[in-house]
Amino acid sequence: MILYYLQKLLFQLNRDPATRKQYESDFDGLLMEYDLTHEEKEALGKPDIGLLYVLGVNGQLLMHYAALKGYAWPDYIQSMKDGVAQHGPVRAGIYTMVED
């Protein structure tokens, strides 16, 4: 799991107009530039916001991707809950820093 690059892509997408352009015109080419797992690529493409959350993407990055994909705020929140129900607890990243 290379969460770093998944988050890096979303970081660039949120702040860099050129990345946004490439996202729209050449999604597969953009993915090639980041070291992503098959599961990560699928989750981005669908998009599966819930799975991206479970994979460990920080909400501060993810909420903007959800907004870009047309999710209203309550739908964004619900999709994360659905993701956990479907895929299990968050696997990596900041939300796993304390064991319950």
Partner 1 sequence: MALVFAGVCSHAPGITGRTHLAKPEDKDSFHAAYDGMRVSLEETRPDALIVIGAEHFANFFMNNMPTFAIGMGDSYEGPIEDEAWLGIKKHKVPGNRDLSTRLIQRVMQDVDVSYAEEWKFDHGIMVPLNFLTPRYDLDIIPININCQGPPLSPLARSYALGQALRRACDETPERIALVGTGGISHWPATPNSGKINEDFDREFLGIWAANKKSELLAYTDEDIYRRAGQGGFEIRTFIAVAGATAGATADIRYYRPIPPFAVGCTIGVVNLQQAGMRTAA
Contact 36, 86 (CB under 8 A): no
In three-state secondary structure terms, 9 is: helix
Provide the minimum distance between the beta carbon of 38 and partner 1 in the complex, in angstroms, as a whole number: 23
What's the rounded Cα separation, in Å, for the pair 69 and 47? 8
Pick 25 or 70: Cβ nearer partner 1: 70
Return residues touching partner 1 (CB under 8 A).
Answer: 4, 7-8, 11, 14-15, 53, 58-64, 67, 73, 77, 80-81, 84, 94-95, 97-98
Provide the minimum distance between the beta carbon of 68 and partner 1 in the complex, in angstroms, as a whole number: 8
Residue 23 token pair: 């996202």
Pick 14 or 37: Cβ nearer partner 1: 14
Provide the minimum distance between the beta carbon of 13 and partner 1 in the complex, in angstroms, as a whole number: 11
Provide the minimum distance between the beta carbon of 37 and partner 1 in the complex, in angstroms, as a whole number: 18
Pick 22 or 58: Cβ nearer partner 1: 58
What's the rounded Cα separation, in Å, for the pair 75 and 34? 28
Among 17, 21, 39, CA closest to 30: 21
